Every structure is written in structure tokens, then in C-alpha cells.
Amino acid sequence: MNEAPLLDSFNRRITYLRLSVTDRCDLRCTYCMPQKMTFLPKAEVLSLEELHTLAMGFVERGVDRIRLTGGEPLVRRGIMSLVGSLCGQIGKGLREVTLTTNGTRLSEFAADLANAGVRRVNVSLDTLDGAIFERLTRRCRLDEVMAGIEAALSAGLSVKINTVALKGINEHEIPALIEWAHSRGCDITLIETMPLGVVDEDRTDHYLPLPGVVRQLEDRWALAPSQYKTGGPARYYDINATGGRLGVITPLTENFCAGCNRVRVTATGQLFPCLGGREQVDLRAALRSQNPAEELSRALDTAMHIKPERHNFRIGDDETEPPLARHMSMTGG
């Protein structure tokens, strides 16, 4: 079996797997999916055992960080058994297991996550205003999210807030979100909306380029470029006035692909070498073959060969369809 590190055609080492455990979500964020979303039949989704086997195939090829995503990963039945089995590999090839969540079920799972070995989570939160939250998510559950964040902090988890910056919706609230996050000891990252999947509104109406936001924040506070790195696409700033760190992810205005170290796998086992590309490799077929270890390793080699140099995200050029038809809930955030 090939145990060589995963290296793509542009000499980028792949050490980070974002593994979706479900496409289902208990929110319906307007920029992510339509109100009447059709989810995958459960029969098409990999079992928890298959997800573990797949993850270990990546670890054998040098991946040392795994982030569980969705949809909303905490709605997956039995999710803690997978978290526990993966965390059991920390120090045996894996460096860390992390999670991205919308926070609605974090109160229930925070202590178990910490006890299993998870040390940090990302929570998606775009507003502190209940009315705006309900408008964005089509659900009245902000109190649950806030309670989940507090539960995570109480359990000793490091929490990073991910905020999609939206023109005309939450742009006025961004400074307050930063101050609130930093007051809780949380880093916060601002993200440009990504054109993935058909939704019920025109994303161009709310697309907010982040370089302009950063300039406005610099007029308010002194932003010092930070040397902090997570291996992801965010650029970081330290804000002395608030005592915290601000990340910025700009898939549309400032390409960040040169240092890409990640791939994404859907809950059905489809590997996407690039979130913004159409290239994909079927890992489920490899897992269910007569020689799963060998076929999985061969499929990973194929993924390295086809991983593009950069993504093709674009917005605002009068397209009738988004560049990519799949929703973010399919490939994970």
C-alpha cells in the first residue's frame, strides 16, 4: 500500500481533511440553501464505520488534522462514536480533531467533545440580533446558539466564531460582533459569501468585499498583521483595543490558493480537491471495493493529480446559475 505523503501537482502537501458527516442541517441559512432543501437519502450516506476507515486512509498518507463538518455534524446520529474513535488516533498520526458547528446542539455535546479529546470548535454565527438571526436562518434559535457557545467555553473548548459578512444585513454589526467575540475570549473570522448552490435570493445583493471592511475597521481600531497561522486560508490581525484576533477569508477578492493544504470529502464519499472546482473522485466506490485500502490509496493519488492550482469562484457577472451547483452543506464549510 502506498503510504507516501499526499502531494499535489503544484508541490502542495495535503495535511488537512474536512470530512462531512451529513448534508443535513437544522437551520436554513438563506445564503447556504433554499427553504425547501432536498437532502440526500440516508442510504447514500457513508456509515460511521466507513467514515472512520476513510479518515484513517488519509492519516496513513500524512493527513494530521481532521475537521468534521456538515451540514450540521451534531445532528448525525451516533456522531460521538466517530469523534471518539478519531480522537483515539491523536498522537498516533493525527495531531487534532476539530469541528465546525452552527451551535444549536453544542450545549448537549460540548462536554462530551472535550472529554473525547476535541480542543477547539468553530461556531458559525452571523449576528447577535434575534430578528436578523431568524431572517438569515429561517429559525428562531439564537438563544440555543449562544448557550452552546457558553457551554463550549465552560467545557474548556477554544471557540472561534465564523461570520459571513453580508451587505445590508449584518455589515453594520461587524464591529459589535468582533467586540463581543473578543470579550468572550473567542477569535472571529469574517468570510465573503461563496457562490455555491442555488438559493432563494441573489447573492450579489449581499456580497460584501472584505478589503473594504478591513479598511473601515482600521479607521476604528489599530489592526496589526498577525503571524498567527492555522494552515487555513485566513489572514489574521491582532486588535489591541479589543484584545483579540480577527481573521479574514476572501475567496472572491483575494485568491489564497497558493498555500492550500486541504481537501474535502462529502458524506457520500465524494472527494473534492477544491471547494471551488468541479473535480471529484469517488472514494465510496474505493471503500466498497474488494481491496479498499489499495483502491482508496489509488483514488487519493488521482485526487492529487487533478487538484487545480486555484479555485474558480466568481460572483456578480450576470450568470444565470452559480458556478457550482452543489450547496455548501454538501461539501462542508
**pLDDT band with cut points at 50, 70 and 90 for residue 197:** very low
Residue 4 lies in a domain: no
Residue 119 lies in a domain: yes
Burial 202-241 (b: 16+ CB within 10 A, else e): ebeebbbbbeebbeebeeebebeeeeeeeebbbbbbbbee
- Cβ proximity of 265 and 281 under 8 Å: no
Res 260: pLDDT = 82
**How far is residue 83's CA from residue 91's CA, in Å, rounded to a whole number?**
15
- Per-residue pLDDT at 101 exceeds 70: yes
Res 204: pLDDT = 66
Res 326: pLDDT = 44
Res 38: pLDDT = 76
Secondary structure E strands in 28-179: 65-69, 96-101, 120-124, 158-165
Res 332: pLDDT = 55
What average pLDDT is seen over the chain? 88
Burial 297-333 (b: 16+ CB within 10 A, else e): bbbbeebbebbbeebebebeeeeeebbbebbbbbbbb
**How far is residue 326's CA from residue 20's CA, in Å, rounded to a whole number?**
14
Residue 9 lies in a domain: no
- Per-residue pLDDT at 307 exceeds 80: yes
Res 230: pLDDT = 72
- Per-residue pLDDT at 87 exceeds 90: yes
- Per-residue pLDDT at 195 exceeds 70: no
What is the mean predicted confidence (pLDDT) over 301-322? 68
Res 270: pLDDT = 95
Binding-site sequence positions = 18, 25, 29, 31-32, 67, 71, 100, 124, 160, 194, 257, 260, 262-264, 274
The pLDDT tens digits for 247-264 are 999 877 666 666 788 899
Binding-site sequence positions for GTP = 18, 67, 100, 160, 262-264
Greatest extent of the chain over all pairs of C-alpha atoms, in Å: 61
Residue 2 lies in a domain: no
Provide the domain limits for residue 255. Answer: 16-331
**pLDDT band with cut points at 50, 70 and 90 for residue 224:** very high
Which H/E stretch holds residue 182? helix 174-183
What is the mean predicted confidence (pLDDT) over 36-48? 85
What is the mean predicted confidence (pLDDT) over 78-105? 97
> Which of 130-134, 265-269, 310-314 has the lowest average pLDDT?
310-314
Binding-site sequence positions for S-adenosyl-L-methionine = 31, 71, 124, 194
**pLDDT band with cut points at 50, 70 and 90 for residue 275:** confident
Which H/E stretch holds residue 111? helix 106-116
Strand partners, 68: 19, 99
Q: Which of 76, 331, 315 is nearest to 193 (CA)?
A: 315
Res 234: pLDDT = 86
Residue 1 lies in a domain: no
Q: Which of 81, 138, 69, 141 is nearest to 113 (CA)?
A: 81
- CATH number of residue 100's parent domain: 3.20.20.70
**pLDDT band with cut points at 50, 70 and 90 for residue 327:** very low
Residue 10 lies in a domain: no
**How far is residue 325's CA from residue 196's CA, in Å, rounded to a whole number?**
6
Residue 7 lies in a domain: no
Q: What is the distance of C-alpha 211 from the center of its chain? A: 21
Chain position carrying cell 474536512:
18
**How far is residue 210's CA from residue 310's CA, in Å, rounded to a whole number?**
19
The pLDDT tens digits for 123-182 are 999 999 999 999 999 999 999 999 999 999 999 999 999 999 999 999 999 999 999 999
The percentage of residues in the chain with a pLDDT greater than 70, rounded to a whole number, is 86
Cell readout for 24 is 443535513
When divided into structural domains, the chain yields a total of: 1
Res 81: pLDDT = 98
CA distances from 156 to 6, 68, 151, 249 (A): 33, 19, 9, 26
- Per-residue pLDDT at 96 exceeds 60: yes
Binding-site sequence positions for [4Fe-4S] cluster = 25, 29, 32, 257, 260, 274
**pLDDT band with cut points at 50, 70 and 90 for residue 292:** very high
Residue 8 lies in a domain: no
Q: Which of 194, 156, 167, 184 is nearest to 329 (CA)?
A: 194
